Amino acid sequence: MTTVERQQWDVVVVGAGGAGLRAAIEAREQGARTAVICKSLFGKAHTVMAEGGIAASMGNVNDGDNWQVHFRDTMRGGKFLNQWRMAELHAQEAPDRVWELETWGALFDRTKDGRISQRNFGGHEYPRLAHVGDRTGLELIRTLQQKIVSLQQEDFKQLGDYEAGLKVFQECTVTRILKDDVDGKVAGVFCYERESGRFFVIEAPTVILATGGIGKSFKVTSNSWEYTGDGHALALLAGAPLLNMEFVQFHPTGMVWPPSVKGILVTESVRGDGGVLRNSEGKRFMFDYIPDVFKEKYAESEEEGDRWYEDPDRNRRPPELLPRDEVARAINSEVKAGRGSPHGGVFLDVSSRMPADVIRRRLPSMYHQFKELADVDITAEAMEVGPTCHYVMGGIAVESDTAAALGVPGLYAAGEVAGGMHGSNRLGGNSLSDLLVFGRRAGLHAAQYAASVAENRPVVEEAQIDLAAAEALRPFSAEGPDESLVEGGPVPAGGRPAENPYTLHQELQQTMNDLVGIIRREEEMSQALKKLADLRVRARRAGVEGHRQFNPGWHLALDLRNMLLVSECIARSALERTESRGGHTREDFPGMDRAWRRVNLLCQLADPTGGLAATDPVRGQIRLVRKETEPIRPDLLALFEKEELVKYLAEEELFE
């Protein structure tokens, strides 16, 4: 039996990005004793990297904007696969969440008449992104942290303890959600402290997952080291399904050179503020890639596109501002056709479009990023850019209003880890607003749920803790007999040698990049599933040397379980969906199929007991279930022209 410290809280929030912090603030304000756990340093969540802004239809720059237009844009961007009620709530509540940030101390850039400034972004009909230069995420996190500190000061005044009602456990990683053996309700989490390697358990009737995305499963990504799909995997292992995992967003503009920085994001604000994309022949190629569904909304000529920046009411926007999936595919095609830049991207130019001082003022981070990392002065020359894995639209299936995960009482999810909101493709700026809207809702409903079970709290049995501890310690004794079903041949005396977690990670990233990347083919995805099965078996022998005190190799060995699970979800779902839509492009099924609009793909663990050991190499760890999408409410459908709906909805839906 492992002796592990236990603490009791009402709500545990896993993740301290925008979603986690907003959830924690709400839960604490509802009176729930709330613990926040984050695997990185407090303040170094992914949200801090957000550059361009937060989408909210405040109408400060164009008063034609309102929540209905934002809702329409979001549904179009997601190609109508969005969980429409989420898209509705998001569009309605985003302006309040931005105002609220200002009341908590955020200071957004202003218009000339002193209102919060809003900038253009791909897929948004009006200038809609509230921003702080190109460092919006930093201001968002700084403000939420400040709010947390102010709540802790209130607690100190009343209770003499800063951490009585709200405590942050930084550099701690959750490896399992614990459940009550009797009724299957959430009972807490099992974690380890990264610095000391010490295990501990937080007992709580509600867990809010706010762990962000999955980008580290891909080789070229804008995401940082924490994005190993932990929340996705924790939910699966606890019995909650993941929704539409095939939809992964490849942002069109990541750095392509030098190799050490490949994938780092070049914000969409560059294009929102006037930057244009050109191929090696100097052509603004995006005019050749406007799909039929968007034809009426985008400029036909460079002149019209350029006029739009000054006079948006009488001109249409340039195609550089199409949704990200369209731009990423276009860049991919140009490079493939041999019209790419020297390092395998295309050119993104602001230098010929704005004076140098305006570029430095509006895009300070981009200016420094290119100067310092690539020795390129973006006020004088074009950047080289190409697609990079950026965001996952798929995620934990949740109830739209409450953010409750399906199937596991007490489990909630918000932010990038939750699915549904963005359908098959997210519009830029819609993540920061999503974090705040659904972070607040998750905190509210989790606190209410925790209060409702206060008299009858779920119980964590010792046996569960022992299992979680044994699983976490496994990499220290990884050599030994091979339990795999896949690898043939005799097992050498003493067992097979341990596998290096870094090598396994590299192989996984290469597999996902090459075989389940931006353009997908049946044969390659089947190959990827075989490779993932092999990696899974080898990952069970991922071994590390040394001890539990800060040991990054050990941490990675544990993260591999999560990355392998989510990668299998992505590959399986991508193979199943025989159409192209949003962030899922099939070379063998290039068109969007209206019949598929009605289909959600849910991933569940094949072994319902939550075990991973007896993995069938062929069937894998994941089972796919098809679930029909909920019909869109008629008053929301009425916001669209009939001619537009015909492009998206299935015959029977139109008939209904």
With beta carbons less than 8 A apart as the criterion, state whether 252 and 385 touch: yes
Smallest distance from ligand FAD to CB 521, Å: 27
Q: Which two tokens stand for residue 561?
A: 């379980």
Minimum distance from residue 40 beta carbon to ligand FAD (Å): 4
**Binding of ligand FAD by 38 (CB under 6 A):** yes
Q: Which is nearer to ligand FAD, 18 or 123 (CB)?
A: 18
CA angle 306, 136, 25 (to 5 degrees): 145
HSE on the CB side for 97, CA within 13 Å? 31
**Nearer of residues 555 and 572 to ligand FAD, judged by Cβ:** 555
- Tokens matching residue 427: 């519009």
DSSP notation for 620-636 = BSEEEEEEEPPPPPHHH
Q: Residue 78 or residue 137: which is nearer to ligand FAD going by CB?
A: 137
Cβ closest to ligand FAD, residue 265 vs residue 571: 265
Rounded Cα distance between 424 and 583, Å, is: 6
Does residue 230 bind ligand FAD (CB under 6 A)? Answer: yes
188 binds ligand FAD (CB under 6 A): no
Residue nearest to ligand FAD (CB): 17
| Candidate ranges 50-58, 144-152, 273-281, 334-342; the one touching ligand FAD (CB under 6 A) | 50-58
Dihedral-angle region of residue 338 (phi above 0 means left; psi in -120 to 50 means alpha; beta otherwise): left
Phi then psi for 346, rounded to 5 degrees?
A: -130, 180
Instruction: Select from 199, 298, 308, 391 the one that contacts ligand FAD (CB under 6 A).
Output: 391
From the list 4, 13, 19, 132, which residue makes contact with ligand FAD (rule: CB under 6 A)?
19
Quick one: which segment of 31-39, 300-308, 484-492, 597-605 binds ligand FAD (CB under 6 A)?
A: 31-39
Considering only 73, 88, 226, 384, the residue that binds ligand FAD (CB under 6 A) is 226
Position 560 contacts ligand FAD (CB under 6 A): no
Token pair listed for 515: 């075989």
Per CB under 6 A, 46 contacts ligand FAD: yes
Is residue 386 within 8 A of residue 258, CB to CB? The reply is: no
Taking alpha carbons only, the member of 227, 168, 228, 171 closest to residue 196 is: 171
Identify which of residues 566 and 632 has a Cβ nearer to ligand FAD in the complex: 566
Number of residues forming the site for ligand FAD (CB under 6 A): 42
Should residue 52 be labelled a site residue for ligand FAD when binding is judged by CB under 6 A?
yes
User: Contacts with ligand FAD in 191-210 (CB under 6 A)?
Assistant: 210
Residue 39 binds ligand FAD (CB under 6 A) = yes
Should residue 91 be labelled a site residue for ligand FAD when binding is judged by CB under 6 A?
no
Piece of 40-48, 469-477, 487-495, 632-640 that binds ligand FAD (CB under 6 A): 40-48
265 scored as a contact of ligand FAD (CB under 6 A): yes
Binding string to ligand FAD for residues 420 to 459, with x set by CB under 6 A, is what? --------xxxxx--x------------------------
Query: Which one of residues 4, 10, 11, 15 is an interface residue with ligand FAD (CB under 6 A)?
Result: 15
Query: Looking at 76, 194, 271, 324, which residue is catalytic?
Result: 324
- Could you tell me which stretch among 49-57, 90-98, 535-543, 637-645 binds ligand FAD (CB under 6 A)? 49-57
Q: Measured in Å, how far apart are the chain's first and last C-alpha atoms?
A: 59
Given a contact cutoff of 8 angstroms between Cβ atoms, the answer to whether 126 and 55 are in contact is no
Residue 643 Cβ vs ligand FAD, minimum distance, rounded to whole Å: 30
Question: Which residues share a beta bridge with 12?
Answer: 35, 207
Nearer to ligand FAD, 43 or 480 (CB): 43
Q: Which of 347, 329, 352, 369 is nearest to 51 (CA)?
A: 369
Is residue 286 involved in binding ligand FAD (CB under 6 A)?
A: no
Q: Which is nearer to ligand FAD, 120 or 629 (CB)?
A: 120
Q: How many Å apart are CA 37 and CA 15, to the nearest integer?
A: 6
Q: How far is the CB of 39 from ligand FAD (least distance, A)?
A: 4
Residue 530 CB coordination number (10 Å): 15
In the list 12, 13, 16, 535, the residue contacting ligand FAD (rule: CB under 6 A) is 16
DSSP output for 245-275: TT-EEEEEEEE-SSGGGTT-B--THHHHTT-
Beta carbons within 8 Å of 206's beta carbon, 6+ residues apart: 10, 11, 12, 32, 186, 410, 411, 412, 446, 447, 449, 450
Tell me the per-residue interface mask from 160 to 179 with ligand FAD, x by CB under 6 A, - otherwise. -------------xx-----
623 class by beta-carbon count within 10 Å (0-12 exposed, 13-18 middle, 19+ buried)? middle
The CA distance from 391 to 231, in Å, is 14
The CA-based angle 130-404-151, given to 5 degrees, is 55
Torsion angle of the four alpha carbons 470, 475, 480, 482, in this order, in degrees rounded to the nearest 10:
90
The correct pick among 222, 249, 511, 600 for binding ligand FAD (CB under 6 A) is 222
- Two structure tokens written together for 517: 């990347």
- Using DSSP, state whether 277 is helix, strand or coil: strand
Q: Is 254 in the site for ligand FAD (CB under 6 A)?
A: no
Of 210 and 444, CB closest to ligand FAD: 210
Is 598 annotated as catalytic? no
Residues of this chain that interact with ligand FAD (CB under 6 A) are 14-20, 37-40, 45-47, 49-54, 136-137, 173-174, 210-212, 222-223, 226, 230, 265, 391, 415-417, 428-432, 435
The set of catalytic residues is 324
